Amino acid sequence: MRLLLIDPDARFRSLIRHHVSCEWPAAKFVSHHPVANGLLPPEFLAQGFDAVLLGHAWPGGEGLAWLQDFAARPGFAPVIFFASRTDDETARRARVFGAFGVVGRERVDHAGLVELMREASRMQQRALANWRVSPQATASRRFGTAHIPGYRCVRRLAGGSVSQLYLAESEALGALVVVKVTPSLRDESGVDQSFERFVQEYEIACKLRHANIVHCHELGVADDHAYLSMEYFPDGDLRRRMRAGVTAEEALALTIQIARALHALHHAGALHRDLKPGNVLMRGPHRVALSDFGLAKHLALELEITDPGLIFGTPHYMSPEQGHGQEVDQRTDIYSLGIILYEMLVGERPYSDPNPMAIIYKHRNAPIPRLPEPLRLLQPVVEKLLAKLPEDRYASASEAEAALYAALLQLKGIAA
pLDDT at 207: 78
CATH number for the domain including 220? 3.30.200.20
pLDDT at 188: 58
Same domain, 75 and 172: no
Q: pLDDT by residue (tens digit) across 343-354?
A: 999 999 999 999
Same domain, 325 and 352: yes
pLDDT at 305: 37
Query: pTM for the full model?
Result: 0.83
The residues facing 58 across adjacent strands are 61
Out of 13-22, 31-40, 98-107, 289-298, which region has the weakest mean confidence (pLDDT)? 289-298
Given 50, 192, 237, 274, the catalytic residue? 274
CATH number for the domain including 10? 3.40.50.2300
Same domain, 115 and 17: yes
CATH number for the domain including 268? 1.10.510.10
Q: Taking 90 as the threshold, does the pLDDT of residue 31 lie above it?
A: yes
Alpha helices in 168-233 (DSSP H): 193-207
Same domain, 174 and 319: no
pLDDT at 313: 56
Backbone angles phi, psi at 405, to 5 degrees: -65, -40
Q: pLDDT by residue (tens digit) across 94-129?
A: 999 999 999 999 889 999 999 999 999 999 999 999
The residues facing 213 across adjacent strands are 290
Q: How confident is the model at residue 307 (pLDDT cuts 50, 70, 90)?
A: very low
SS (HEC) of 307-366 = CCCCCCCCHHHCCHHHHCCCCCCCHHHHHHHHHHHHHHHHCCCCCCCCCHHHHHHHHHHC
The residues facing 164 across adjacent strands are 159, 181
Higher pLDDT: 86 or 313? It is 86
Same domain, 303 and 392: yes
Rounded Cα gap, residues 38 and 61, in angstroms: 10
Average pLDDT along the chain: 89
Same domain, 118 and 180: no
Same domain, 86 and 197: no
pLDDT at 201: 74
First CA to last CA distance, the chain? 53
Same domain, 121 and 157: no
Q: pLDDT by residue (tens digit) across 166-177?
A: 999 998 898 999
Same domain, 259 and 217: no
Q: What percent of the chain has pLDDT over 90?
A: 69
Q: pLDDT by residue (tens digit) across 163-215?
A: 889 999 998 898 999 999 988 765 555 445 667 777 777 877 777 788 999 99
Higher pLDDT: 263 or 219? It is 263
Rounded Cα gap, residues 24 and 31, in angstroms: 17
CA dihedral 22, 28, 34, 40 (to 10 degrees): -140
Rounded Cα gap, residues 389 and 335, in angstroms: 10
Last residue of a domain, one of 178, 210, 231: 231
Instruction: From 233, 234, 204, select the one nearest 216 (Cα to Cα).
Output: 204
pLDDT at 298: 53
Query: Which domain, by its residues, includes 69?
Result: 2-133
Alpha helices in 79-160 (DSSP H): 89-97, 110-132, 135-140
Same domain, 104 and 179: no
**CB atoms < 10 A from the CB of 299, how many?**
11
Last residue of a domain, one of 200, 231, 262: 231
Last residue of a domain, one of 201, 231, 261: 231
Instruction: From 109, 20, 92, select the one nearest 56 (Cα to Cα).
Output: 92
Backbone angles phi, psi at 136, to 5 degrees: -65, -40
pLDDT at 121: 96
Same domain, 54 and 28: yes
Q: How confident is the model at residue 415 (pLDDT cuts 50, 70, 90)?
A: low
Same domain, 359 and 246: yes
Q: Is 274 designated active site?
A: yes
Structural domains counted in the chain? 3
Q: Which helix (H) or strand (E) holds 371?
A: none
